Homo-oligomer: A and B are copies of this chain.
């Protein structure tokens, strides 16, 4: 039998993640990998988690092991809501549904709003995992390179009868660029969304990991009626519990609830009890501070190393937070070619092209600074710079 004959059109459209496909290569011993998006394991509060797990089993017992509601643990949603209320969102716990991490939130978003061929607007570049999910629902993904282009792109789509369903944005320390939208850029996005009646999906996994500068307002505070916030514990607590959330108007949360009933009924129940208690005890804030401190240091090491080793003509972003920065080679140079040269130097990154829904960005690369230790960051950037020099020489710069 030929399994391909049985596949749905959506399944035919599913592509393996270039990052996941690379993992086998880049995880070989001796390779310094800037490719993943893993948080640093030293940021995981193992002892606190152990203590809380024992407490949860002692206090809640079998309740923490039974099925849970599709909406998620009420105390956890309460704790999460408090954090957003402080940021100016007018919500309560029933504006929140817990998801099996942020990837499920992205996937359900596409499932709820996207028919095959429906337009979704995102940045150029934008988060690969979101592009992959939108693709798997056969969305028509259209990118805006600069924020100012947004209206032109939306208008063009509307005029061609393909009015977008939503704008997908990562306003804080974007993956992959590391950049943060200014308040003016956020206001402009809201203006366009209102003018053309679009939803905004504010994907916000890194927002709390800010090294310096002032927090910009959540887009959801500017357009609560049409903004869907996606959050996660994967970067600020632990990814292994698979816990994220969606914040939205209640009639939208209801749609996520219906979709999630079919998708997986409920998210890990025990893990939710642990997370709720972790927040409740104030451990989250304490550990987040440590994590921010750690990642700020790593970003500084990476920026200093880039400055020190990278040949002229290469540029990079200087993120105020998050896990990534984005490197641009001079026009005409190919990051895929560089990738192979870098592997020979035992260093890896993600080819930037994967983040561009229009196939551009061939001269870009994403590097992660959260995972590697400081010495590894310097050594890795040194190797990467050597690979860039080889690329330049080969291409006669």
Contact = CB atoms under 8 A, between A and B. Distances in A.
A2 to B, nearest CB: 9
21 contacts: A8-B112, A8-B137, A14-B259, A14-B261, A16-B261, A39-B66, A41-B61, A41-B63, A41-B65, A46-B62, A49-B57, A65-B241, A67-B239, A100-B242, A103-B264, A104-B264, A107-B263, A129-B265, A136-B262, A240-B269, A263-B263
B38 A61 contact: no
A41 B63 CA distance: 8
A133 interface: yes
A252 interface: yes
Contacts of A112: 7-8, 11
A70 B113 contact: no
The residue among A6, A15, A129, A132 with the most chain B CB atoms within 10 A of its own CB is: A6
Interface in A48-64: 49-50, 53-54, 57, 61-64
Contact of A3 (B9, B42, B69, B252): B252
Contacts of A57: 46, 49-50, 53
A65 B238 contact: yes
Contact of A255 (B7, B15, B111): B7
A36 B63 CA distance: 15
A64 B7 CA distance: 34
A360 interface: no
B268 A107 contact: no
A116 to B, nearest CB: 9
Contacts of A39: 66
A119 to B, nearest CB: 12
Q: Please report whether the interface of chain A is mostly helix, strand, loop or mixed according to DSSP.
A: helix
A376 interface: no
A10 interface: yes
A359 to B, nearest CB: 20
B70 A41 contact: no
**A interface, size bucket:** 35 or more
Contacts of A133: 262
A268 B233 CA distance: 13
A197 B67 CA distance: 37
Contact of A258 (B16, B41, B259, B268): B16
Given A6-B165, A7-B255, 15 more contacts: A3-B252, A6-B166, A6-B199, A41-B61, A41-B63, A46-B57, A46-B62, A46-B65, A50-B53, A68-B240, A101-B264, A107-B262, A132-B262, A136-B258, A242-B264
Interface string A102-116: 011001000111110
B46 A100 contact: no
A189 to B, nearest CB: 16
B270 A20 contact: no
A11 B113 contact: yes
